[in-house]
Amino acid sequence: MEMKVKHLEMIENIIQRMANNSFLLKGWSISLIVAIFVLSDTQMNQRYFLFCYVPVILFWALDSYYLQMERKYITLYNKIRVSNELVDFDLSIKDITYDKIKNSSLKYVNCLFSVSEWLFYCPIAIVLTFVFKNDILIILNSVFRR
C-alpha cells in the first residue's frame, strides 16, 4: 500500500507541475502582449498590431497542450487509485487516449475550448481587436479596394 501511495504522490507532483506551467504561460502571454504594446509606436507600420495576436495564439495552443497532459495524468491517477494491481511506477500516458478511454475531455480541441482557456484568451483577443480597431479597418479597406 505504501508503494501505491508513493506512486500516486509522484503523479500528483506531475499534475501540480502541469497546472503551474499553465499558470506561468498565462503570465507570460500577458507580459509579452504588454511588452508589444509598450514597444509599439503610433508611427510604426500599421501591420505591427498583428504581432500582438501571435503570443495569444501560441500561448493558447501551448496552454491547451498542458491542460490536455494534466487531464491525462489525472486519468492515470484515477486508474491507479482504483487498481489493485502490483505497483510498477509507470508514469507513461501514451496509452491514455480518447480512442481508448472514451473521455471527450482528453481531446485537444476540447482542451483548447475549455472554459479555463477561452475565458482567458478570448477576452485578450477581443481587447486587442478593440485597441487596434482603426489599424484593422485600414488594412481591410486596403485589401478589399484592390
**pLDDT tens profile 65-88:** 999 999 989 988 888 888 777 777
Q: What confidence tens digit (pLDDT) does each residue in 41-59 have?
A: 655 555 667 777 888 999 9
Rounded Cα distance, 5 and 38, in Å: 49
Domain ranges of the chain: 2-144
68/92: higher pLDDT: 68
Q: Which of 86, 80, 53, 65 is nearest to 22 (CA)?
A: 65
Rounded Cα distance, 111 and 73, in Å: 14
**What is the reported pTM?**
0.82
| Whether 108 contacts 65, CB under 8 Å | yes
